Amino acid sequence: MTIPPLSQIAQNMRPSPIRELFKVIGRPGMISFAGGLPSPQVFPVREFAECSSILQRDGATLLQYGASEGYPPLTEWLREATGQHLRRSITPEELLVTSGSQQALDLVGRALLDPGDVVVVEAPTYPGAIHALRNVGARFAAVPCDGEGMQVDRLRDVVEAAEKQTGRWPKLIYTIPDFSNPSGACMSLARRRQLVDTARELGIPVFEDDPYGRLRYLGEPVPALASLDGASGSVLYASSFSKILAPGVRVAWIVGPPRLIRALVMLRQGEDLCTPVVTQGLVAEYCRRGLLERHLPRILDHYRVKRDAMQAELRRALSAGGAEWYEPEGGFFFWLRLPGRDSQAVFDRAIEEKVAFLPGRAFYPGDSEQVGQVRGGREFARLAFTFAEPDQIAEGCRRLAKVLD
Amino acid sequence: MTIPPLSQIAQNMRPSPIRELFKVIGRPGMISFAGGLPSPQVFPVREFAECSSILQRDGATLLQYGASEGYPPLTEWLREATGQHLRRSITPEELLVTSGSQQALDLVGRALLDPGDVVVVEAPTYPGAIHALRNVGARFAAVPCDGEGMQVDRLRDVVEAAEKQTGRWPKLIYTIPDFSNPSGACMSLARRRQLVDTARELGIPVFEDDPYGRLRYLGEPVPALASLDGASGSVLYASSFSKILAPGVRVAWIVGPPRLIRALVMLRQGEDLCTPVVTQGLVAEYCRRGLLERHLPRILDHYRVKRDAMQAELRRALSAGGAEWYEPEGGFFFWLRLPGRDSQAVFDRAIEEKVAFLPGRAFYPGDSEQVGQVRGGREFARLAFTFAEPDQIAEGCRRLAKVLD
């Protein structure tokens, strides 16, 4: 027997750029700045394991089917914490627990987009966002970024050009305003206000993806987009435990208007019913005990050292060769411009020298799914500073300098 | 701001029939045969909680991102166990761990179906399957069932009629051959052979959903469809820990041809990346310790008593009134025919008498998504015997008899 032809969506899939590189990245002696992985050194293994007492105490609930909206002790904690962050109270009808913020975006894409619809992303942007939206047949228009994030004054032109080219008004704007993956940039307050205002005028909802916001090593926090749009509900806010606790729990959440949250809940009843109650219970217990707030300073201290090391080593080893970057104040990444170089070719040589990063092309939509001039990334490289040790970071930067020489 | 119009898919969503009934089912004093929930009395709370020692022992792995295919100690155990069941060896490329078998069907639908494509289901069938496939815009043709499951000799006619009506050859056949939800029927061996042969001749893959196969209280096991199709790969086999361990872990798996599994892996990298490694680790540890095999007889003993009680009470209280049913040998459900009655009207009266079930209409596709004559269920009621206690089962059946009088 043969499986019938795959669906249009499945035929258009492309393998994850990171997975494609796994084989080479895993070679012995390789120093990898490629994967955006948290350091296992900051996983609170003992404290989290101790929370498993809840599996005994509340086992009959945690082992049963749960509400698609989320496990109530967790949703209550999240409403309180996110309410403080967004400076308003959040009702139960506005919040949904998801299996990673990846699923939050997947569900929003399914709820809002028909095949061929247009999403505005930043250039560069998170490949997993492109993947989720490609899974529902989206096309992509892009707004360039600089050290202050999305160049919002170009947003209206990008939207109007996309409408002219496709006959469709874009349905969604996707952004990571705090320490973007891959650019590391934090959107300035002025641009945030401008983005919220412009999006409201254009009538396009904004998906604010905020996995890194709590990971600030320098400077002052900037308010979330979702805290600037008042009660208008133009911003969907998603965050996650992946970077502040552990990705292996796959617990995240999204806050949005009740009508949309209801649609997401119904969609996921056909997708996976609910996020495992077992992991929601463990995370809720971890938060209830106050362990998250006690743990965050340890994470910040750990990553700050690594960020500082990479900043110093890049300056020492690479800046003479013309490499340029904006210094990230938080998050996981440096986004290097290597003027005149093809970062894919640099990557191929770097692998021989046993240092890995991600070439910039991975952070742009594919040619066939672009609307307008999105092309880019050729001169860029993403370096994650979270996973390698400080001495590896120094050695890795030296190897990179050798390649670039 | 307003959220833009929902996508076509989202506009066609319908609320889960069970959730719609939750409010009335939850009233005080209600005896519910409505939800297909495992009994919390058979959750191995203590043994499962003890397995959390793996969170300490292997924490750095369990808290990190995991492979989309699954946590290796779990996939190895599943390959071995499913290989024994299907009587062949299963390679790593043939298996994917999913978040419930709900997600396995969701991913298969995304991989194979374009909007408007046709899926052949049993009539009646599992509402969650309709929901997952509706989420990718499927239409439904149906083959009637009796006490031996799908009437396979009508399959070819249904497929050809669907093709004539829609211009599309059906892309998938969905079946629960062991103790179907809702019919409780176990497909006979003769029909299984006939289904595998016919599906191969028609060139349509079969999705064999097997959450209940291990829950047999009477009679002899019948081989899985996937064990009858040799190496042809025409049957995708999915099973789950939801009914034999606990639904709250949301761990299931699918076995299929490597080319399709690869497509599912890529799709889910945009959907949710992977099933939580934490729950996969806990389930793997539970299996590794041999606890599942020791626990299964306890589940069987518990449910057998309830099944027997419902069979006896239905016979005592309802058969005189003309109700008819096939006696289930396993699974969770009785599927009652109430000749000449509208089960929705019976439900409304039953609620007043404080006994709940699910009206049969919920187990059929909606009118607008049907291909051919799928309509049915009006005279039928699904009664789950797993959740209520034996004395509640007796009292519930008496109340039902009163309503039907």
Contacts of B211 in chain A (CB under 8 A): none
Q: Which residues contact A364 (CB under 8 A, 6 or more apart)?
A: A123, A124, A125, A142, A374, A375, A376, A377
B67-92 tens-digit pLDDT:
999 999 999 999 999 999 999 999 99
Residue that is written with structure tokens 């770097």 in the block: A350
Q: Are residue A73 and residue A59 in the same domain, yes or no?
A: yes
Residue that is written with structure tokens 């996309």 in the block: A162
Q: Choose among B7, B110, B267: nearest Cβ to A111.
A: B7
Residue that is written with structure tokens 């609620």 in the block: B351
Contacts of B115 in chain A (CB under 8 A): 115
- Chain A nearest C-alpha distance from B322 (Å): 35
- Chain A nearest C-alpha distance from B17 (Å): 11
Q: Do A37 and B136 touch (CB under 8 A)?
A: no
Beta bridge mates, B173? B120, B206
Q: Are A175 and A155 in contact, with CB atoms under 8 Å apart? A: no
Q: Which residues contact B38 (CB under 8 A, 6 or more apart)?
A: A64, B242, B243, B246, B247, B386, B387
pLDDT, position B231: 66
- Chain B nearest C-alpha distance from A144 (Å): 23
DSSP string, A202-252: HT--EEEE-SSTT-B-SS-----HHHHSTTS--EEEEEESTTTT-GGG--E
pLDDT category, B373, cuts 50, 70, 90?
confident
Q: Which of A201, A1, A49, A287 is nearest to B229 (CA)?
A: A1
* Tally of domains in chain B: 2
Mutate to test the interface with A, among B250, B255, B275 (most CBs of A within 10 A): B250
The CATH number assigned to the domain holding B372 equals 3.90.1150.10
Q: Are residue A28 and residue A112 in the same domain, yes or no?
A: no
A52-107 tens-digit pLDDT:
999 999 999 999 999 999 999 999 999 999 999 999 999 999 999 999 999 999 99
A1 occurs within a structural domain: no
Q: Are A245 and A286 in contact, with CB atoms under 8 Å apart? A: yes
Contacts of B65 in chain A (CB under 8 A): 37, 242, 247-248
pLDDT, position B374: 66
Tokens of A387: 């996973």
CA neighbours within 13 Å on the CB side: how many for B189?
A: 5
Q: Are residue B275 and residue B297 in the same domain, yes or no?
A: no
Please state, in angstroms and as integers, the Cα–Cα distance from residue A2 to each residue in B35, B53, B199, B203, B237, following that order.
37, 44, 11, 7, 16
Q: Are residue A360 and residue A282 in the same domain, yes or no?
A: no
Q: Are residue B128 and residue B232 in the same domain, yes or no?
A: yes
- Chain B nearest C-alpha distance from A340 (Å): 33
Q: Choose among B37, B134, B282: nearest Cβ to A278.
A: B282
Last residue of a domain, one of A266, A292, A318: A292
- Chain A nearest C-alpha distance from B189 (Å): 21
Q: Report the alpha-carbon distance of residue A145 to residue A166 in Å, rounded.
A: 23
Q: Do B16 and A99 touch (CB under 8 A)?
A: no
Q: Choose among B110, B134, B260: nearest Cβ to A9.
A: B110
pLDDT, position B1: 54
The mean per-residue pLDDT over the stretch B138-160 comes to 96
pLDDT, position B233: 72
Q: Do A112 and B15 touch (CB under 8 A)?
A: no
Q: Which residue of chain A has the CA closest to B3?
A: A205
Q: Report the alpha-carbon distance of residue A213 to residue A148 in Å, rounded.
A: 15
Q: Which residue of chain A has the CA closest to B268?
A: A132
Q: Are A44 and A295 in contact, with CB atoms under 8 Å apart? A: yes
Residue B139, pLDDT > 80, answer yes
Q: Do A263 and B6 touch (CB under 8 A)?
A: yes
pLDDT, position B319: 84
pLDDT category, A195, cuts 50, 70, 90?
very high
CA B226 to chain centre: 16
Q: Which residue of chain A has the CA closest to B277?
A: A248
Sign of CA dihedral A383, A386, A390, A395: negative
Q: Are residue B203 and residue B349 in the same domain, yes or no?
A: no
Contacts of B387 in chain A (CB under 8 A): none
- DSSP character at residue A330: B
B50 occurs within a structural domain: no
Q: Which residue of chain B has the CA closest to A273?
A: B102
Burial B92-103 (b: 16+ CB within 10 A, else e): eebbbbbbbbbb
Contacts of A6 in chain B (CB under 8 A): 111-112, 263
Q: Do B233 and A3 touch (CB under 8 A)?
A: yes
pLDDT, position A372: 86
Q: Report the alpha-carbon distance of residue A251 to residue A292 in Å, rounded.
A: 14
> Furthest-apart CA pair in chain B: how many Å?
62
Mutate to test the interface with A, among B272, B273, B275, B292 (most CBs of A within 10 A): B272
> What ranges in B203-252 are assigned the alpha helix state H?
none
A3 occurs within a structural domain: no
Q: Which of A154, A39, A136 is nearest to A369 (CA)?
A: A136
B69 occurs within a structural domain: yes
Q: Report the alpha-carbon distance of residue B246 to residue B267 in Å, rounded.
A: 26
Q: Do A99 and B276 touch (CB under 8 A)?
A: yes
Q: Choose among A59, A234, A247: nearest Cβ to B64.
A: A247
Q: Do A250 and B272 touch (CB under 8 A)?
A: yes
The CATH number assigned to the domain holding A219 equals 3.40.640.10
Ranked by mean pLDDT, which of A230-234, B12-16, B117-121 comes out on top?
Answer: B117-121
Q: Which residues contact B353 (CB under 8 A, 6 or more apart)?
A: B399, B400, B402, B403
Q: Do A248 and B63 touch (CB under 8 A)?
A: yes
Residue A232, pLDDT > 80, answer no
B232 occurs within a structural domain: yes
Contacts of B40 in chain A (CB under 8 A): 60, 63-64
Q: Which of A271, A6, A288 is nearest to B275 (CA)?
A: A271
pLDDT, position A269: 94
B266-282 tens-digit pLDDT:
999 999 999 999 999 99
Residue that is written with structure tokens 């409780």 in the block: B184
Q: Do A10 and B38 touch (CB under 8 A)?
A: no
Q: Are residue B65 and residue B34 in the same domain, yes or no?
A: no
- DSSP character at residue A326: P
Last residue of a domain, one of A276, A292, A308: A292
The beta-strand segments (E) located in B49-130 are: 95-98, 118-123
Q: Which of B36, B58, B271 is nearest to A135 (CA)?
A: B271
Q: Which residue of chain A has the CA closest to B105?
A: A271
pLDDT category, A2, cuts 50, 70, 90?
low
Ramachandran angles phi, psi of B359, nearest 5°: -60, 145
Domain assignment of residue B329, given as a range: 8-44+293-404
Q: Are residue B25 and residue B69 in the same domain, yes or no?
A: no
pLDDT, position A129: 97
Q: Are A233 and A84 in contact, with CB atoms under 8 Å apart? A: no
Least confident of B33-37, B186-190, B236-240: B33-37
Q: Choose among A205, A263, A272: nearest Cβ to B102.
A: A272
Q: Report the alpha-carbon distance of residue B242 to residue B248 in Å, rounded.
A: 7
Beta bridge mates, A34? none
How buried is B83 (Cβ within 10 angstroms: 0-12 exposed, 13-18 middle, 19+ buried)?
A: middle
Q: Are residue B61 and residue B202 in the same domain, yes or no?
A: yes
Contacts of A117 in chain B (CB under 8 A): 7
Q: Are residue B143 and residue B242 in the same domain, yes or no?
A: yes
B52 occurs within a structural domain: no
Contacts of A1 in chain B (CB under 8 A): 199-200, 203, 205, 229, 232-234
Q: Which residue of chain B has the CA closest to A106?
A: B271
Q: Which residues contact B57 (CB under 8 A, 6 or more apart)?
A: none
Q: Choose among B38, B64, B271: nearest Cβ to A40.
A: B64
The mean per-residue pLDDT over the stretch B232-246 comes to 93
Integer distance in angstroms from the first to the last C-alpha of chain A? Answer: 55
Residue A374, pLDDT > 80, answer no
B13-55 tens-digit pLDDT:
887 777 777 777 778 899 999 988 999 999 999 999 999 999 9
Please state, in angstroms and as integers, the Cα–Cα distance from residue A336 to each residue in A309, A318, A384, following that order.
15, 10, 11
Residue that is written with structure tokens 């139960």 in the block: A92
Q: Are residue A268 and residue A129 in the same domain, yes or no?
A: yes
B294-331 tens-digit pLDDT:
999 999 999 999 999 999 999 999 988 889 999 999 99
Q: What value, to the nearest 5°, has the Cα angle with vertex A305 and ends A301 and A308?
A: 135
Q: Do B16 and A266 touch (CB under 8 A)?
A: yes
Q: Do A263 and B131 touch (CB under 8 A)?
A: no
Contacts of B52 in chain A (CB under 8 A): 49, 52, 55
Contacts of B4 in chain A (CB under 8 A): 112, 171, 203-205
Tokens of A13: 């899939």
Q: What percent of chain B has pLDDT over 90?
A: 88
Tally C-beta pairs within 8 A across A and B: 274
B312 occurs within a structural domain: yes
B368 occurs within a structural domain: yes
Last residue of a domain, one of B246, B272, B291: B291
pLDDT category, B4, cuts 50, 70, 90?
confident
Contacts of A110 in chain B (CB under 8 A): 7, 9-10, 135
Q: Do B248 and A282 touch (CB under 8 A)?
A: no
The beta-strand segments (E) located in B210-279 are: 235-240, 252-255
Q: Choose among A10, A62, A246: nearest Cβ to B267.
A: A10
Q: Choose among A2, A115, A278: nearest Cβ to B249.
A: A278
Q: Do B45 and A65 touch (CB under 8 A)?
A: no
Q: Are A365 and A121 in contact, with CB atoms under 8 Å apart? A: yes
Q: Are residue B136 and residue B265 in the same domain, yes or no?
A: yes
